[in-house]
Amino acid sequence: MLLDLIFPKKCVGCKGIGSFFCDSCIQEIRQKELICPSCRRASIGGVVHPVCQRKYGLDGLWSLGLYEKPLKTAIQKLKYKRVKLLAEDLVNLTVDYWARNQPFLLDEIKKDRGESWVVVPVPLHKSRENWRGFNQSALFGQILAERIGLKYQNVLVKAKNTKPQVGLEAHERRENIKSAFSLSNLQTLSSKNIILVDDVWTTGATMKECCFVLKRSGAKRVWGLTLAR
């Protein structure tokens, strides 16, 4: 493409020309063990531990890698530098990893051929999205849904313009995000399984609040999926 000649892609890790992620820097992305989204202890496949299960809680959590370079750099460029083309590369990394490792979440989707699964992004407040120009989680979610053949629905809205979560303690994050989300247009989610997409998992306060709204509205299962944690 002409744009690639004028503004060539640079690796977010080593700054090499040609792609956002060179083969060498891809190897620098650390996956580590997955965790239970409730107690944050190691969990096989990211499934919530039986003793941690809650009626309105997440059923599992999968993350591409740890929030450190080069993945951290890529997410920051996507969010703050508005390098939207990075979303497609991040989806490619996710799908390639799934193809090689067949995570438990993928097995769950395959059980019913994905017919009941819907990809839903964590929303931004309207003022925040207008300022940034897009919702990075929605962009990632749309591309991911298309790549793996699932439905995409933007069913959540953020009505409360909260303070940024960055820098807040865990209890402050929970209080800050409480009652911030609602279901748009009174949509029904009866018997639906949700892949709830966000960019970064820190304490999980945002994703847990979204899950509460989704399950209270009829969702059967909700799995969290983030680029990093």
- Kind plus residue range of the DSSP H or E element containing 195: strand 193-200
Kindly list the domain boundaries of the chain, sorted by start residue.
Answer: 30-228
Q: How far is CA 136 from CA 77, 83, 124, 139, 212, in A?
A: 11, 10, 9, 5, 22
User: How many other C-beta atoms can be found within 10 angstroms of the C-beta atom of residue 17?
Assistant: 10
User: How many other C-beta atoms can be found within 10 angstroms of the C-beta atom of residue 11?
Assistant: 20
pLDDT digits (tens, 9 = 90+) for 128-153: 888 888 999 999 999 999 999 999 99
Its pTM stands at 0.93
CA distance 185 to 159: 13
Q: What CATH number labels 30-228?
A: 3.40.50
Greatest mean pLDDT range, 55-69, 76-90, 100-114, 173-187? 55-69
pLDDT digits (tens, 9 = 90+) for 181-204: 999 876 678 889 999 999 999 999
My answer on whether omega of the bond before 70 falls inside 30° of 0, hence cis, is yes
